[in-house]
Structures are given as structure tokens and as C-alpha cells.
Amino acid sequence: MIAVVLIAAALHSVVAQGPLDTDVAAYDPGRTGVVSGRVYEERAKPTAPDRPVPTAVVWLVPRSETLLHRLNEIKEHGRDSMKAYRGAAARIRREREQYERVLWQAGGADLVFQAQADASGRFSFDHVPRGAWLVLGWRSVLFDAKTDRVPQRQWGTFALAPRLDRYQGITVWLTEITVDEATPVTIELTDRNVWFTGVLEEMKPGASR
């Protein structure tokens, strides 16, 4: 009985995250290529250097039409309201994480690649199975929020709502590539081909700072 419950719970988890529309068996680890790239802000003047973005993280995952649809839907409606805008980046992150879990459950854990750009903004992935892939870049910049101080006389009088303490400015890149054995793939993620920008908020209790 317990085993049945556990199996049902696992199936419910997969269904909740959506069906896997990626054939993980098609990504042959014996036939691979190389993917490399750079994350940077383009030079402001012809004589100035480009500015690397060493804090960016880049993921490489098998192409999924379902994942693409969900991400594009978030982007499309991310400016519909302030609430949608404030939650869009978190939803994008959850969709990526859920897709990774579904891949893991399907035996495709080795098909999730992740790298952080180095000091020059460069990243690379070796031994990437040939096929269609999604590249998802993520940059986060932390900011302190300017909030009003709560008067001390209000402490203990009201159940104060959490207030914005600080937030992350999020930049997201999304692109599709095809990997083969013959030609290395090179990717450039710049401030000119950003796919989405949003925020991740960090709240604190309503007590005075």
C-alpha cells in the first residue's frame, strides 16, 4: 500500500510539471560537440573595450517545445500588471528548475549543463551530445531597496506586512542552438540580445531598519 502511494506521488509530480516532450535517448553521449561563448556588454565607444559579465550563469538543456511555450508565455504577459512583472523572473526560474527535475526523472540528468562565466565573461561546455538545445543565460545584480522607516509606536500594534528589503535586477537570455560533431558552436550573449529583464524581490518583516 505504501509503495502504491509513493508511486502515485511520483507520477503526480511528473504530471504537475508537465509531460516531457524531449527524447533523451536521442542525445548520444558518444557523438558530441563543443559549445562556448561570452557574456558581455557591448562597448559604448568604438575605442572602448567590451565589458565582460563574469557573474552570469549559463544553462544548456535539451530543446523542449513545452518549455519554450511556457517561457514565452511568461515573457508575453510579464508586463500585463505590476504583479505579473514582479513575479515573472521567479516563474522563469521555477520553469527551468521543474524541467531539470523532469529530465532527471527521465534519466537525462547528464543532459543539464551549467557554467558560470569567468572574469573575461567566457564559458564553455565540452562533450555536448549532438542535437537541438536551449541556452538560458541568467545575470543577477543586487540592489538595496529604499523603504520608509516604520514608526516605533506601530511595533506590536499591527501585524506589519513584509516590506521590500532588497531586490535583484535579473537579465535573461534565451536562444536555440544545434550541436554537431563537426563545427563548434559559439554564442554571444550581450546587452543587445537580451530576451527578458525583471526583478526578484527579497522581503523583510515590517520592523524598522
| pLDDT surpassing 90 at residue 117 | yes
User: Any residues with CB less than 8 A from the CB of 202 and at least 6 apart, and which?
Assistant: 164, 165, 166, 167, 168
Instruction: Please name the residues in contact with 149: beta carbons below 8 A apart, sequence gap of 6 or more.
Output: 208, 209
Q: What fold characterizes domain 30-204?
A: Immunoglobulin-like (2.60.40)
Q: Inform me whether the pLDDT recorded for 3 exceeds 80.
A: no
Burial category of 4 from C-beta neighbours within 10 Å (exposed 0-12, middle 13-18, buried 19 and up): exposed
Residue type, 28: D
In this prediction, residue 129 carries a pLDDT of 98
Q: Is the pLDDT of residue 162 over 50?
A: yes
- The pLDDT confidence band at residue 114, using thresholds 50, 70 and 90, is very high
What integer pLDDT is reported at residue 45 of this predicted model?
85
pTM over 0.75: yes
Angle subtended at Cα 125 by Cα 124 and Cα 131, rounded to the nearest 5 degrees: 130
Span 159-165, mean pLDDT?
Answer: 53
